[in-house]
């Protein structure tokens, strides 16, 4: 498997995991009091996955630039 293909699969995995985690968090917060229970859910969600996505995209573009 090529490096670019692996990184694209990794990016797809991050997006899938991100969607699942956010869906579960919204469900859990809705069942346990809504935004009163989870007032900063969007900030936490954003901080958690920004680094993973940025790193994967940087590796992907960096590997394409070498060619």
CA distance 17 to 23: 10
CA distance 59 to 57: 5
What pLDDT shows up at residue 20? 92
DSSP per residue, 1-67: --HHHHHHHHHHHHHHHHHHHHHHHHHHHHHTTGGGT-TTHHHHHHHHHHHHHHHHHHHHHHHHHT-
What pLDDT shows up at residue 22? 85
Give the model confidence (pLDDT) of 13-37 as tens digits: 888 988 898 889 889 888 888 778 7
As given in the structure block, the two tokens for residue 29 are 């917060």
What pLDDT shows up at residue 63? 62
Does 67 have pLDDT greater than 60? no
């Amino acid at each position: 498997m090529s490096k670019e293909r692996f990184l694209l699969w990794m990016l797809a995995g991050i997006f899938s995991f991100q969607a699942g985690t956010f869906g579960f968090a919204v469900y859990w917060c809705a069942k346990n009091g809504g935004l009163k229970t989870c007032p900063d859910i969007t900030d936490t969600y954003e901080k958690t996955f920004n680094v993973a996505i940025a790193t994967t995209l940087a590796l992907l573009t960096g590997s394409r630039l070498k060619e």
